[in-house]
Amino acid sequence: MTDLYRAAGAPPHPRTALLDPSGTTADPAVPPPGGEPDDRGERAAELVMRDLVDTLIQENLYDVARRRSGTVPDRLAAQELRSHESWFRVDLDGGWICFRARRVTALQAWRFSRGPVWHGGPGALAPSAGAVPGPRGNGTARAEGGTAPVADGTAPAEGDPARVQDGPTAQDGTSPVHDGTAPARRREPSPAVREDVSPRPVQTLHPAALLGLLQDDSLSRPPVPGHTPARYTDQVLEDLRTAVEHTAVTLAVRRRLVTPPEPAGTPRTPGTATGGHAGTGTPSPGEPSGVTSGHPLLPRPHCLVAGERLASLRNRPFHPTARAATGWSAADATSYGPLRDQALSPAWVAVPRQDSRHGSADASGALHHLLLTGSETDALLELMARHRLDEATHQPLPVHPWQYHHLFADGHRRTADGPVPLTAALGAFHPTSSLRTLAGATRPHVHVKLPLNVTTLGVPRLLVPGDLDNGELAEATLRTIADRDPLLRDLALVCDERTWAGWSSPSTAKPPTAVLPGQLAAQVRLYPRGVFDAPHQLVMPMAALAAHEWDLLGPALARARSAGPWGPARALEFFGELADSFLTMAVGYLSHGVLPELHGQNVVVVLENGLPRRFVLRDHDTLRFTPGWMADAGLPLPGYRIKPGDPDSVCVPTGRELVGFLQTLGVQVNLYGVADALARAHGIDESLFWKRLPEAVETALARTDPPSAVADTVRRELLRAPVWPSRLVLGPLLREGRSRQVTMPAGVGQVPNPLLPPA
C-alpha cells in the first residue's frame, strides 16, 4: 500500500541534507523510507511544512507572495526541478530561503510542491531539520555532523543582543510584516553581501525554523504604522513543533496498525507486505495488493471507526497546526489517538447533582445507562454504593482517561462537596478524529463527547454547558427545517445531541481545588440508527475523503459501485456526484436562512453502493443564521444565549456573508480538501475539479428551488463575483494567540473566484 507520505506527493527519500558551498549533497547515501528511526520525523516535517508554506503564500504573511523570485541560488543549481515545478525564493536580510513550488489556477498563484525548504546566505543559520535543540529557553542548537552551535531559527539565544519581542504579521494578508512596537534593541540590517561570500553550507529547515526565520527577518525591516504585532509567535512555534511530533506519531502508529507482526523466522509473502492485515494472506477480489476486507483503515458497513481513522490522517486540510494537540506528549498522542487499535475505557466520577447542569433529554441525568452495558452499569452503581453515594444526590459522569489523570491524579480536587473518583476505567470506546469524542465499541450509533484540557486549531477542547445548551437550540432549528422540507429531511440527517450533563465547582471555590466550567462534562451523541444498519452503506466523515489514502478508498468505492477499475475518470465522476449532493444540502439550508458549519469534521457522508446518498450533521452549536432570510422562510430565530461580552459569530447580518461561510468552510476547506487528495493521488489537474463546481451549483439551485433572494445571492457570489472571501488562520493565530472561545481564531481575506472561467 502506498505510504502516507509518498501519497502526499513527497520526494521518495526525504532526509535532511547539508549542502556544501557548491550545492552538492554532503551525504548522498540516503536510505529508503523506514530505513532509520529519523525517517518518519522527516516525512512528518514535510507534511506540516506543505500546509505552512501554502498558508504563508495564501495569506501573504511576511509578504512572501509578493517577494517571490524565480532565481535559483547558485548553491541549489544542481538540485532537480521537475517539469511542473518552479523555484520559489524569498531574499532575507541575512540570506535567502528557497523551495520548489508549482503554479496553480485557483485561490493562490503558487503552492508548495515538495521539500526541502533550504536556507542559505551570509546571515546566521537557522537550525537544520536534524538539529538537536538545546535546553528550553536558551535557543541554542547543535547542527548535524558536529558543526558549531547555531542560533535557533525560532528565537535568538538568551543574552544575545539580537533577541527582541515577537513582531507582527500582516493584518489583512496583503502587506509586509513589520514591527512598530519592538524595543529599542533592534538588530541593524545586514549590509549587502554577495551570495558566494559565505562558505557556510546550505541547510534545510523544519516548519518552526522557517516561521522563526521569517519573523526574525521582519524585525530588521522598517516598521509599518498601524499594523498589529504578532505577539503570539511563540505559541505558533510550539504548535508547529507539536504538529511535527504528533504527525510522526501518526505515521509510526499507522505503519504498525496496517503491518501485522511476523513470527520469528516467517518468510515474507505478498499477503504480509506493508499494508496487509493480520490473519489474512490474500486480498479479496478487486482489492489492491496487500489490502483486505479487514484492513483497519478500510471503511466498512455498520462502523464509523475506520472512517474516523482516515479523517485523522489529514485532519483539517490546509491548516498548518491541524495535526497538533498542544498539551499532549507524543506518548499521549499514541495512547489516546484515533489510530489506537484497542478500545479505550473512560474513567468515572460521581458529581453532586446540586451544582450540575443538564440537557433537555430525559436521559441527561443518567448518561451511564446509554454508555455502559448492563453488567458495567451494575459495577458502576456498586462503586457508588461503596462510597455511600446515592443516585438521588450524585450522578456518575464519564471522564476521558487523560483528563481524569489531569484533574484528579494528585488528589487536590478531591473535596467533601466535589467530584468523587469511582474508577479509572469502565466501558469500551474508540477514539475518533476529534480526539475528545469516543465511539461506542459495541453500539456504533452511540458516541460520547468528553472535554480535554488540550488545544487544537488554537481552541481549548472543553465542553462548556452554555455551548451545549446553544447546540440544543441549533438542533431544534435543524429539526424544524427537516419537518418542513422533505428534500432536506431525506438528504441531511441530524445527530441527537440533547443528552448531556456538566458540573463545575461553585463560584466560591478557589484554585487549585476548583473544577472550572467545561472541564467536567459529557455529551452523548446518538446517530440515526439506520445509518449503520444497511450492509451496502459506507459511513465516514467527509474529512476522510481528504486523506491521502485513495489507493485504499478508490478500489473500495469501485467495488461498492460494481464498477470497473478505479482511476482518474472515476475519481472525477465521484467528486462531481459528491459536490452535487453536498451543495444541494448547503443551498437547501440557505433557503431557510441558516447554514451549518460544513467542514469535513462536522459532516458525515453516507455512501450507498458507493454513491453519495445523504449526510449526517453533528456538532450543531455553530449553526449560523441570517435573521432576514429566516424571517422570509417563516422560521423563528434559534434564540442562542450568549454571555455579555462574548463575540457573536453565529448571527450573520446579510445573506452574502452567510454564503461566504459556504465558500470558505464548505468549498475551500471541505470540497477542495477532497479535490486536492484526488488530484495528488491520480495526477489530475486540479482545475478539472474547479470546472465541475459551477455545474454542481446550478444542480443544487434546480433541486432546491430557493427563494429568489437566496438564488440570486448564491449565483452572484459563487459564480460571478470576481473575488471570494477566504479563511485566514495563521495570521490571526500569530496576532491573537489561542482562543478562549469555542471557535478557532480566524479572519477573512480575499482570493480570486476559483469558479470563474480563465480570462
Higher pLDDT, 143 or 83: 83
In this structure, is residue 117 part of a structural domain?
yes
Measure the CA–CA gap between 644 and 646, rounded to whole angstroms: 6
What is the pTM for the complete model shown? Answer: 0.83
Q: Count the Cβ atoms, other than its own, within 10 Å of residue 737.
A: 17
Q: What proportion of the chain, given as a percentage, has pLDDT over 90?
A: 67
What single DSSP character describes residue 625?
E
Least confidently predicted of 37-46, 542-551, 706-715:
37-46
Taking only the tens place, the pLDDT of each residue in 165-204 is 233 333 333 333 333 333 323 333 333 333 444 446 899 9
* Alpha-helix residue ranges (DSSP H) falling in 318-416: 330-336, 368-371, 374-386, 401-408
Of the pLDDT bands very low, low, confident and very high (cuts 50, 70, 90), residue 32 is very low
Which domain range does residue 609 map to? 535-752
Q: What CATH number did the domain enclosing 642 receive?
A: 1.10.510.40
- Split into its structural domains, the chain has a count of 2
Higher pLDDT, 369 or 297: 369
Taking only the tens place, the pLDDT of each residue in 617-628 is 999 999 999 999
| 303: phi then psi, degrees, rounded to nearest 5 | -155, 140
CA 208 from centroid of its chain's CA atoms: 18
In this structure, is residue 481 part of a structural domain?
no
Cα three-residue angle 396-398-400, rounded to 5 degrees: 155
For residue 480, give the 3-state DSSP assignment.
helix
Mean of the per-residue pLDDT values for the chain? 82
pLDDT of residue 412: 56
Q: Are 507 and 356 within 8 A, CB to CB?
A: no
Measure the CA–CA gap between 678 and 671, rounded to whole angstroms: 11
Among 231, 259, 283, where does a domain finish? 231
Taking only the tens place, the pLDDT of each residue in 637-654 is 999 998 776 777 899 999
Measure the CA–CA gap between 340 and 318, rounded to whole angstroms: 24
In this structure, is residue 728 part of a structural domain?
yes
In this structure, is residue 429 part of a structural domain?
no
In this structure, is residue 74 part of a structural domain?
yes
Residue 128 has pLDDT above 90, yes or no: no
| 558: phi then psi, degrees, rounded to nearest 5 | -60, -40
Which distant-in-sequence residues (6+ apart) come within 8 Å of 566 by Cβ? 554, 555, 557, 558
Q: Count the Cβ atoms, other than its own, within 10 Å of residue 194.
A: 8
pLDDT of residue 405: 94
Among 190, 211, 231, where does a domain finish? 231
Q: Which residue has the cell 553550507?
A: 201
For residue 113, give the 3-state DSSP assignment.
strand
Phi-psi region of 549 (alpha: psi -120 to 50; beta: other; left: phi over 0): alpha
Most confident stretch, 12-26, 75-89, 579-593: 579-593
In this structure, is residue 565 part of a structural domain?
yes
In this structure, is residue 633 part of a structural domain?
yes
Taking only the tens place, the pLDDT of each residue in 744-759 is 788 999 999 999 998 7
Phi-psi region of 137 (alpha: psi -120 to 50; beta: other; left: phi over 0): left
Of the pLDDT bands very low, low, confident and very high (cuts 50, 70, 90), residue 145 is very low
Measure the CA–CA gap between 114 and 73, rounded to whole angstroms: 17
Residue 457: closest CA among 305, 597, 327: 327
In this structure, is residue 269 part of a structural domain?
no
pLDDT of residue 613: 97
Phi-psi region of 121 (alpha: psi -120 to 50; beta: other; left: phi over 0): left
pLDDT of residue 198: 47
Q: Which residue has the cell 450522578?
A: 395
Measure the CA–CA gap between 612 and 475, rounded to whole angstroms: 23
Measure the CA–CA gap between 455 and 733, rounded to whole angstroms: 12
Measure the CA–CA gap between 675 and 545, rounded to whole angstroms: 9
Among 231, 248, 273, where does a domain finish? 231
Q: Are 673 and 543 within 8 A, CB to CB?
A: yes
Measure the CA–CA gap between 435 and 60, rounded to whole angstroms: 31
CA 480 from centroid of its chain's CA atoms: 31
Q: What is the dihedral of CA 240, 246, 247, 251, to 10 degrees?
A: 160
Taking only the tens place, the pLDDT of each residue in 379-436 is 999 999 999 999 999 999 999 999 999 998 776 556 668 899 999 999 999 999 999 9
